[in-house]
Amino acid sequence: MIPLSVLDLSVVTTGTKPAAALRNSIDLARHVDGLGYVRYWLAEHHNLASVASPAPDLMIGQIAAVTKHLRVGSGGVMLPNHAPLVVAERFKMLEALFPGRIDLGLGRAPGTDGATAYALRSRLDRREGDDFLERLHELILWETREFPAGHPYNNVVAMPDDTRLPPIWLLGSSDYSSELAAQVGMGFAFAHHFASHDAIDAMVHYRNRFQPSVWRASPHAILAVAVIAADTDEEAERLASSFDLNRLRRDRGQYLPLPSVEEAMAYPYTDAERTSILRNRSRLFVGSPATVQKKLQPLIYASKPDELMVITAVYDHEVRKKSYSLLAEAFGLRAAG
């Protein structure tokens, strides 16, 4: 069976305030640590009422401290928002504190709106256009120490200097990151849960073009998917109504907390809105464990991921934990000893 991991957005609901959502993330991590999940990643988003955590590095430390077996990482750090030296220092610290358990996932999007992105970067040495490659190169140089002779950064050391950066993963929702991850020989994670690009194309492209490097000798591709599992198909569909309404609002630029099932069921959808919901369902796998497994299997077979990373956004925290429990059982996970 394919290994399972978790992608967590620390989802805020109309009944769960942001502080409680952060504590729920820690509780969920403890829960899946005992189920046999192999990895737990935290996202970076800013100025979104539906996402509580803008700082994955802080959450990584909290979660690694209360779990034993999970690799814990960022899914991801939005590199254009940060000075590469700061990223290097923070993740070296995490690796020093939790050796062999930290992942550094990097994204090239801002993870927010234009005004917030400007506020995040206004004190950085900003470049015009997309400077992700430049920042990635600098981040790597803080590890390799291969700055050109005479470069002022040769006199700067990313501490702790006796600790290597954790494994670097490139995140993407198009063919750009799959191509780049293959060229530089890093891990790759594809965001099927919101991508418009074909997941199979990106995953196969990465594997076929992978170049071994000092970072990784062989390719490792993670497929991130949105799943809602319940005891029955009917119950899962009911739970998914919150997702449907939330996604509909997001498509209109309304990033609101996740609504309750009752609110979603009572919403007066138009025919056009119902059509939009059906279209969005192509990115969500809903049903009993057997149904979800059956729906996922063709995608798994075609894209051949090394790992399936699951994001589950439902209104009730205990129900979310149960969804992960049901998936663990369906996919034959074994709790770590």
Residue 69 has a pLDDT of: 97
Whether 322 contacts 54, CB under 8 Å: no
Give the pLDDT mean for 113-130: 73
pLDDT digits (tens, 9 = 90+) for 295-319: 999 999 999 999 999 999 999 999 9
Instruction: Using pLDDT thresholds of 50, 70 and 90, give the confidence band for residue 174.
Output: confident
Give the pLDDT mean for 87-113: 94
SS3 label, residue 8: strand
Give the pLDDT mean for 86-104: 98
Beta bridge partners of 107: 78
Look at residues 313, 309, 331, 329 and name the one whose alpha carbon lies nearest to residue 71. Answer: 309
Give the pLDDT mean for 85-108: 97
Distance CA 89, CA 251 (A): 37
Instruction: Using pLDDT thresholds of 50, 70 and 90, give the confidence band for residue 119.
Output: confident
Look at residues 299, 294, 289 and name the one whose alpha carbon lies nearest to residue 327. Answer: 289
Core vs surface per residue 105-122: b (16+ CB within 10 A) or e: bbbbbbbbeeebbeebbe
The model carries a pTM of 0.95
* Res. 121: pLDDT tops 90: no
* Res. 55: pLDDT tops 90: yes
Instruction: Using pLDDT thresholds of 50, 70 and 90, give the confidence band for residue 125.
Output: low
Other C-beta atoms lying within 10 Å of the C-beta of residue 290:
12
Look at residues 309, 158, 146, 299 and name the one whose alpha carbon lies nearest to residue 220. Answer: 309
DSSP assignments along 144-201, one per residue: H--PPTT-GGGG---SSTTSPPPPEEEEESSHHHHHHHHHHT-EEEEETTT--S-HHH
* Res. 272: pLDDT tops 70: yes
Torsion-angle region of residue 150: left (phi > 0), alpha (psi -120 to 50) or beta?
A: left
- The full length of the chain comes to 337
Please tell me what DSSP assigns to residue 79. Answer: G
DSSP assignments along 220-268, one per residue: -EEEEEEEEE-SSHHHHHHHHHHHHHHHHHHHTT--PPBPPHHHHHHS-
Pairwise pLDDT comparison (238 vs 110), residue with the higher score: 238
Pairwise pLDDT comparison (119 vs 293), residue with the higher score: 293
Pairwise pLDDT comparison (109 vs 44), residue with the higher score: 44
Residue 156, Cβ density class (10 Å: 0-12 exposed, 13-18 middle, ≥19 buried)? exposed
Distance CA 166, CA 92 (A): 7
What percent of the chain is modeled with pLDDT above 90? 86
Instruction: Using pLDDT thresholds of 50, 70 and 90, give the confidence band for residue 153.
Output: very high
Residue 250, Cβ density class (10 Å: 0-12 exposed, 13-18 middle, ≥19 buried)? middle
* Res. 73: pLDDT tops 80: yes
Distance CA 39, CA 58 (A): 17
Residue 126 has a pLDDT of: 59
SS3 label, residue 111: coil
Residue 123 has a pLDDT of: 65
Residue 54 has φ and ψ, to the nearest 5°, of -95, 0
Residue 275 has a pLDDT of: 96
In sequence order, the 6+-apart residues with CB closer than 8 A to the CB of 136 are: 79, 84, 106, 184
